[in-house]
Chains A and B, each alone.
Chain A
Amino acid sequence: MHVSEGIIAPALLGGSWLATMAGLVYGMRRTGPAKIPRVALLSAAFFVVTFVRIPLGPAHMHLVATGLIGILLGWSAFPALFVALLLQAILFQYGGLAVLGVNTLIMALPAVTVHYGFRLGVRRGTHARVMWLAGLAGALAVIGNVLLMAGFLVGSDPAFAAPALGVLIAHLPLIVVEGVVTALAVSFLYKARPDLLPHMEMVS
């Protein structure tokens, strides 16, 4: 889920770089030196998960895992996603340097938002509740990603309304898939190591 280079208007590029830098600085402050390995490993895991392809008719879709990253990292999702997207831009030319601010904002803002939603809902959560909340977080994160992407396209030029609508429709299956995968992946983590999930109060 990348916006390609050359599409976004200069004013929006500048604004999103400023917002991304603010998120990055705050995220790095919240991370602290002791948590850098955790953020780095999850950033690398995000990078690897984007290679997971799920067949959909004649085409494939790839996972994005922003919901899962958001649940596990909170504000640290900003540096984690920024670094992963920077490496994707340099190594594979997905996205790019100029549009890196936009792409980070598109991915990280919904991730941070679902983190707080999940944290609020998960206190004294049962397994089923955690799973449902994680599914909702995964789906809502992708909805947020897609809406932001469409917003950036239409904000750059109103003529991009049709491609923006196309982006929204094309990502509908991914919203469902991300919801299911996030729910089941968090369920796996809950069973294996519940202490890794944020603010869990175990209920027997």
Chain B
Amino acid sequence: MKSVSHDALVVLDPRARILCAAGCCMATALATQPVAVIPALCFPLIVGVIFRFPFRRLSWMAVRLNGIFILMALTTLPFVDGPAWRSVGPLTITSPGAHLMGVMILKGNALVLSCAVFLSTMESASLGHALSRLRVPTAFVQLLMSVIRYIDVLLEEHARIRLAMRARGFCPQFNVLTLRTHAVAVGALFLRSLDRAEQVADAMKCRGHHGTYAATRTLHWRTADSVWIGTALSVIMVMFWLGWSV
């Protein structure tokens, strides 16, 4: 995985970013009222605007996510019983149906936005170091960092296999030949992965690896990080208050 060149929130400590994202996601997932989700939608938006987050990169995600919600609404709303709320052409939307869809759409967008703004531009190395400092088990952090390290290697490997397929005139269609070719390519990729895993394990053993994750970077918690954590906590409290008061 390549590190992202434009990290909008680089001034914040990675631990603060992870805690903000986790807290906002947890509170949003628990919300059951549309009004309670609005702060969770506004908070990452404001953070993104302040830190100049490249929102344009989320446009395809927003189209895909809300496309799924429109599809869900069209297939779900006719089956929700209750008092009629609005009529759109032949479709009558009931109050419980509108509530269900409102919560779903707001929560879906708020959750994805929180994750994207706080975490998507974070450097992979920072993610590993921050998780390590947040007392996530070493074995898990090591696994995560190894996956991040080798995704790039395997993407290159897969690109080489695809190039070889194309050089032999392979043109994917929905037929047995395509499936057979893809199966052999997948098999070859897994085989090379397993071979490389053995090499990596041997290399780690040779270098005296004893199961600890060595984080060479020092993370500095600043006042700004505490301020943003405090703001996130306030947003979460407002969400719970709005949820209870409805």
Q: Which residues in A have their C-beta under 8 angstroms from that of B1?
A: 87, 91
- Bitwise, B45-73 to A at CB < 8 A (1) or not (0) is 00000000000001001000100110110
Interface membership of B172, Cβ < 8 A = yes
Contact residues in A for B114 (Cβ distance below 8 Å): 97
Q: Which residues of A contact B242 (CB under 8 A)?
A: none
The 8 Å CB contact of A188, one of B97, B103, B191, is B191
Is there a chain B Cβ closer than 8 Å to A43's Cβ? yes
Interface segment, one of B5-13, B151-159, B226-234: B151-159
Q: Is the pair A90, B186 in contact by a Cβ cutoff of 8 Å?
A: no
User: Which residues, 157 to 183 on A, are CB-close (under 8 Å) to B?
Assistant: 157, 159-163, 166, 177, 180-183
Q: Is the CB of A86 within 8 A of B144?
A: yes
Partner of A163, one of B26, B75, B180, B193: B75
A187 to B183, CA, bound (A): 9
> Known: A79-B140, A97-B115. Is A42-B21 also a contact (CB below 8 A)?
no
The segment from B83-91, B195-203, B214-222 found at the interface with A is B195-203
Q: Which of B65, B154, B182, B191 contacts A189 (CB 8 A)?
A: B191
The interface-forming segment of A29-37, A104-112, A115-123, A143-151 is A29-37
Closest residue on chain B to residue A189 by CB atoms: B187
Give the complex CA separation of A6 and B65 in angstroms.
10
Query: Which residues of chain A are within 8 angstroms of B58 by Cβ–Cβ distance?
Result: 93
Determine whether B237 belongs to the interface, using a CB cutoff of 8 Å to chain A.
no
Residue from B80, B153, B185, B197 with most neighbouring chain A CB atoms (10 Å): B197
Contact with A along B103-130 (1 / 0, CB 8 A): 1111111111011100110100001000
Q: How far is the CA of A99 from the CA of B110 in the complex (A)?
A: 13
Instruction: Give bound CA distance, A13 to B107, whole Å.
Output: 13
A31 touches B139 (CB 8 A): yes
| In-complex Cβ contact of B184 among A54, A63, A184 (8 A) | A184
Is A65 positioned at the interface, with any CB of B under 8 Å from its CB? yes
Q: Which of A40, A182, A184 contacts B197 (CB 8 A)?
A: A40
1/0 contact trace for A66-83 toward B, CB 8 Å?
001000100000010001
B29, B148, B151, B180: the one within 8 Å of A184 (CB): B180
Contact in complex: A6, B184 (CB < 8 Å):
no
Q: Give the Cβ gap from A86 to chain B, nearest Cβ, in Å.
A: 7
Any A CB within 8 A of the CB of B238: no
A51 located at the interface, meaning its Cβ lies under 8 Å from any Cβ of chain B in the complex: yes
Which of chain A's residues have a CB closer than 8 A to the CB of B29? Answer: 10, 13, 98-99
Whether A41 pairs with B200 at a CB distance below 8 angstroms is yes
Is A4 part of the contact surface with B, judged by Cβ < 8 Å?
yes
B28 at interface by CB-CB < 8 Å? yes
B142 at the interface (CB under 8 A from A): yes
How far apart are B137's CB and chain A's nearest CB, in angstroms?
A: 7
A128 interface contact, C-beta 8 A: no
Instruction: Establish whether residues B151 and A47, one from each chain, have CB atoms under 8 Å apart when the complex forms.
Output: yes
Q: Does A202 contact B (CB under 8 A)?
A: no
| A48–B151 touching, CB < 8 Å | yes
Known: A40-B143, A91-B1. Is A188-B183 also a contact (CB below 8 A)? yes
Q: Assuming the A-B contacts A28-B140, A52-B182, are A162 and B79 also in contact, with contact meaning beta carbons closer than 8 angstroms in the complex?
A: yes
Assess whether A18 is interfacial by the CB under 8 Å rule. Answer: no
Beyond A41-B154, A180-B183, A185-B190, 19 additional pairs, beta carbon < 8 A? A6-B111, A35-B201, A37-B200, A40-B200, A41-B193, A44-B154, A48-B155, A52-B185, A90-B115, A90-B119, A97-B114, A159-B76, A162-B76, A177-B179, A181-B182, A181-B183, A183-B183, A184-B179, A189-B190
Would you mind naming 25 contact pairs between A and B with Cβ atoms under 8 Å apart?
A: A37-B146, A37-B198, A41-B193, A44-B154, A47-B151, A48-B158, A53-B172, A54-B174, A57-B174, A68-B190, A90-B127, A93-B61, A98-B25, A98-B28, A157-B100, A160-B76, A162-B75, A162-B76, A180-B179, A183-B183, A185-B190, A187-B183, A188-B187, A188-B191, A196-B191
The 7 closest A-B pairs by CB, nearest first: A6-B108, A188-B187, A184-B183, A40-B146, A6-B107, A98-B29, A5-B111
